[in-house]
Chain A
Amino acid sequence: MHLLADPVVDWNQLLDVIWAALLGGIAVPGAFAIALFGAVRATDARRNGALGLAVGYWTLMAVAMTLVLASIVFGVIVMTSKD
């Protein structure tokens, strides 16, 4: 059974937009928040003399921030590539 607007609306394209927007608009800001969490916690841990914990939080920050930047670079590469 076809949906009413099937011949008019390219649902595959629309679904691509929806999942890409959900992924980019939620996962990337989420990863940035995790990076921020790691940075603030690392500073607090270092201030309290817990150097091991600070290194752990710095690592978390670095991984999360790498994900953020890699996602942005990936997004721009996808944008500039022709289908």
Chain B
Amino acid sequence: MDAAFVLLVIVVITALAFDFTNGFHDTANVVATSISTRAMAPKIAVGYAAILNFVGAFLSIQVAATIASGIVDADLVTEPIVFGGLIGAIAWNLITWYYGLPSSSSHALIGGVVGSMLVAKGPDAIIGSGLLGKVAVPAVVAPILAFLVAGVAITLIYRIVHNLRPGPTNAGFKGGQVLSGGLLALAHGTNDAQKTMGIITLALIGGGELNPGADPPFWVIVSSATAIALGTYMGGWRIIKTMGSRIIKMDTAQGFAAQGSGAAVILAATHVGFPLSTTHTITGGVMGAGAAKRVSAVRWGVAGSIVTAWVLTLPASAAIGGATYAVTSIFGSGLTGPLIVFVALVIVMAVVYARRVSQGSAITAAET
């Protein structure tokens, strides 16, 4: 087995590890509203989300194409560059997960790859138009759009149901949340799993296994779908608490509107290949559904700390990605550098996970 192949295997495993942390980190986005309104028990909600994340990953490959060829020059990519980007994203995901901040895994990934590419090949290797047109502008538009859609939707819903008896109405919206939560999980799976597919495809291009512009192979789609579903099932309980109850207290109709708006925005964006942040989008929906009922219902301080984490995500993950590439390149362009960083990453992940588990879950089935 030659060193280049081992390096490719390490990059693929690291990408799948990122996908796992993405699912783990973003479970909150998908299930928080269903849990906080008691539409679903936590374990059922997480299992349901995991299955639909898996299914969603098979729906489309437009976002994978954007990641693989629309943000950095695929002709200049090497495996160590992709590896550096992945480490930047995983490290940032772990940091924000540890502190309970729902930052964007997607932007962490894009930031990591851009930072690694910048250090390796300079600014000319970055496709500025792709970064701005496919990532930055949709990143700003999506949460605002979800905010507006959820706000209008919940206003319309309240107008339609305001004279109805609350008991069956709430029960109906709980059923609706099963539907909207499922669609949100499907949307999350299709947009976020594709980012990993795109990154693995980029690594395969960098390793000479695929030509630039190639679609992800089927094994890449299946493995990405499996990794994100497993990560989702393992869940991110600490972040669930932030998303589900600290931003606003929701009723079932608001939860339904927030999930529906998030799913609509993500699915529409996925179809045209925009690698959106599902975190940004569903938080926009949650805040819109809350603000339309009563502006003061939204805990803007918590929302502010989340925005701060978002603003930090691209530069922080880019810095870590760039630094990782610089460290691995000290050992040359071969296997040694990535192997050392990979082993260090596994150790750090195990320690961080053990510490977090020993501190206990922030939310349990008994609490909800």
Contact = CB atoms under 8 A, between A and B. Distances in A.
Contacts of A48: none
B144 to A, nearest CB: 10
For this complex, into which size category does the number of interface residues on chain B fall? 35 or more
Nearest to B58: A80
Contacts of B172: 36, 39-40
A79 B267 CA distance: 7
B133 A25 contact: no
Nearest to B164: A40
A37 B164 contact: yes
Contacts of B260: 24-25, 28-29
A17 interface: yes
12 contacts: A8-B132, A8-B137, A10-B133, A17-B265, A17-B272, A21-B269, A24-B267, A25-B146, A32-B179, A40-B172, A44-B165, A79-B271
Contact of A8 (B59, B133, B183, B261): B133
Contacts of A80: 59-60
B176 interface: yes
Interface in A16-58: 16-18, 20-26, 28-30, 32-34, 36-37, 39-41, 43-44
Contact of B149 (A25, A40, A76): A25
Interface in B179-196: 179-180, 183, 186, 190
A32 B164 CA distance: 14
Contacts of A72: 179, 183
Interface string B113-147: 00000000000000011001100011001000110
Contact of A37 (B160, B183, B186): B160
Contacts of B268: 16-18, 20-21, 24
A25 B264 contact: yes
B164 A25 contact: no
A75 B187 CA distance: 11
Interface in B35-88: 59-60
A33 B160 contact: yes
Interface residues of A, number: 37
Contact of B138 (A17, A33, A44, A79): A17
Interface string B246-262: 00000001001100110
A8 B176 CA distance: 39
Main secondary structure on A side of the interface with B: helix
Contacts of B190: 79
B272 A25 contact: no
B168 A79 contact: no
Contacts of B141: 14, 17-18
B153 A40 contact: no
Interface in B248-297: 253, 256-257, 260-261, 263-265, 267-272, 274
Given A25-B153, A29-B157, A9 B168 contact: no
Nearest to B270: A79
A20 B268 CA distance: 6
Interface string B156-185: 110011001100110011001001100100
Contacts of B263: 24-25
Given A28-B260, A76-B59, A9 B133 contact: yes
Contact of B59 (A20, A37, A79): A79
Which of A14, A43, A80 has most B Cβ within 10 Å?
A14
A21 B272 contact: no
